[in-house]
Amino acid sequence: AGGGEGESDAMRRYYDRRVAGQRRWISELREACADVSASEEYRSNVGGNDGNEGILVTEVPFYDMELVGVPALGYLGGQTFADGFERLMGFDQLDNDPESSNPKVVICGGKGGVGKTTTSSSLAVAMASAGHDVALVSTDPAHSLGDALDMSLRGGSLQEVPLYGVPPVDGGSAGEGSLNAMEIDPTSALKEFRDSIDRLIGKNDNDGGNSELSSTLNSLGEIIDTLPAGTDEVVALAKVIQLIRRGKFDRVVLDTAPTGHTLRMLTTPSFLADLIEKVLAVSRKVNSNAAVKMLLASATKNKYNLDDAGDSAKSALLKFQVSMYDLEDLFADPSATEFLIVTIGTELAIRESVRLLNDLTFGDPDMPIKVRNVVVNQVLDGDDDGDNDEKLRGFVGRLTKSQFSSIEEIHRSVDRMERPPRVTKVTMLDTEPRGVYGLKALSEQLSAEQTEVPSA
């Protein structure tokens, strides 16, 4: 960045190419959103926007510093969600309906690395500063929500997030809102779910001669061992849905794992509710079969431990089942639940976002979640207003500083290892490496760096 005139010219050309590429792909995104908004499937969705408006595409500028902590996120939220988000920031008939038990839920999803956590947390802070009681829940295994809020969220419970230094948002209420956040561990939640099933029906291949029961147990075992992607997130959400309901929140923001799991997550609650029903039915067969029950009891060495474990597991699964029905009810209510797609202005990210938009709109008529907003992060300023050198310095400075600190942290981490892995640095390419020739250019850089080892 601080090199000679030739290097500065090269960076300026690179910056201009990035700007042109973003303009192209954001334009394609807007066209896709307009096409979907005009479709019969979108317009007939009963949870449509007021006035039957189309999908709003919001561009968030590239900032030359990391926005971390509640005050910074509050600033970002105030800038990003000031216009077009009145449904979430304001108070409408659904908010004032005492018979309504569903909060408004915003599911933030998209490709990995596009800023979902920053977007979801800034939206949550903005809604809280508008006077709403907000629950912000992350099901992303990366657990970066605490980093974004600059606070520890360990413990697996909702924690209050102080709103110090966050100004009120226009369009909200005069009262004070609140924000509570939590990170949940999908892997441990899924293990608990599997363990509850194992305790209830046992894991014994010997069925005492009952071939029908053996066949049922084997079929259930195969289903449980091959649960669809997204199951871990749904099971984790099931653990907190009642907690959210008891907290009297009127807004819930979900920061989800990358795209593929999110799509599965939306259709999984009904599948798991049916699976639990089958498990409970098998449990009743096990308890009515004296031979099977004797075998399971001998495996546990104690009949009463078996009965206690079965009762405990049955209670846990029934609670899971009720939560699944609650999640299904919530996801199937397009007046309460919406999907916010987060992306960046690159070809791969935009293409995946358009696929996600089409899948949500046309893929499953039983899943009427509506996409009302798309947020495009890291948009570079391409206006020719005589300040291009300053924009370029800000862009390159932020990029260089961020990369330098990250590479240094990687080196510090691997240097402490007895047998450290090789650290390979690949020069930033001026275009996305797509196709055979693009990937070949990338592979040549990887091959050229094979001799690099961690710094001392």
The catalytic residue positions are 140
Maximum Cα interatomic distance, the chain, rounded to a whole number of Å: 86
d(CA 270, CA 440): 45
Tally of residues, the chain: 456
Token duo for residue 233: 């997130």
Angle formed at CA 320 by CA 96 and CA 262, multiple of 5 degrees? 75
Contacts by residues 110-113 (CB-CB < 8 Å, ≥ 24 positions apart): 110/258, 110/259, 110/341, 110/342, 110/343, 110/349, 110/352, 110/353, 110/356, 111/258, 111/259, 111/343, 111/348, 111/349, 111/352, 111/353, 112/258
| CB proximity list for 362: less than 8 A, separation 6 or greater | 39, 41
| CB proximity list for 235: less than 8 A, separation 6 or greater | 186, 189, 190, 192, 193, 272, 320
- Ranges of H-type helices in 183-258: 186-201, 211-225, 231-246
In 3D, which of 84, 65, 85 has the Cα closest to residue 127?
Answer: 85
d(CA 182, CA 186): 12
In 3D, which of 232, 241, 227, 244 has the Cα closest to residue 323?
Answer: 241
